[in-house]
Amino acid sequence: MSEDPVIDVREFARFDGRLGGTVAAASLARLSELLTDDSGNVTYGVSGRLDGDGNPRLQIEVSSRFTVRCQRCLGPVLQVVASRRELRFVADASLLPEVADEAPDVDDLPIPAAMRVLDWVEDEILLALPISPRHEECGCRPPPNPAAEPDAVVKPFARLSELRFPHTKDQ
Inform me whether the pLDDT recorded for 101 exceeds 60: no
Residue 94 lies in a domain: yes
Over residues 116-142, mean pLDDT: 85
Residue with the bigger pLDDT between 25 and 98: it is 25
Inform me whether the pLDDT recorded for 19 exceeds 90: yes
Inform me whether the pLDDT recorded for 153 exceeds 70: no
Residue with the bigger pLDDT between 117 and 168: it is 117
pLDDT computed for residue 81 by the predictor: 92
Q: Which of 15-29, 67-81, 98-112 has maximum average pLDDT?
A: 15-29
Residue 10 structural domain: 6-144
Give the end-to-end CA distance of the chain in Å, rounded to a whole number.
74
Residue 153 lies in a domain: no
Structural domains counted in the chain = 1
Residue 154 lies in a domain: no
Please choose, from the candidates 108, 33, 36, the residue with its C-alpha nearest in 3D space to the C-alpha of residue 70: 36
pLDDT computed for residue 1 by the predictor: 42
Reported as a pLDDT band with limits 50, 70 and 90, residue 162 is confident
In terms of Cβ atoms closer than 10 Å to its own Cβ (0-12, 13-18, 19+), residue 28 is buried
Inform me whether the pLDDT recorded for 169 exceeds 60: no
Residue 1 lies in a domain: no
Reported as a pLDDT band with limits 50, 70 and 90, residue 163 is confident
Residue 162 lies in a domain: no
Inform me whether the pLDDT recorded for 58 exceeds 70: yes
Residue 36 lies in a domain: yes
Inform me whether the pLDDT recorded for 121 exceeds 80: yes
Chain-wide mean pLDDT for the chain?
Answer: 82
User: What span, in angstroms and rounded, lies between the C-alpha atoms of 15 and 25?
Assistant: 29
pLDDT computed for residue 134 by the predictor: 85
Buried (b) or exposed (e) across 33-68, using 16+ Cβ within 10 A?
Answer: ebbeeeebebebebbbbeeeeebbbbebbbbbebbb
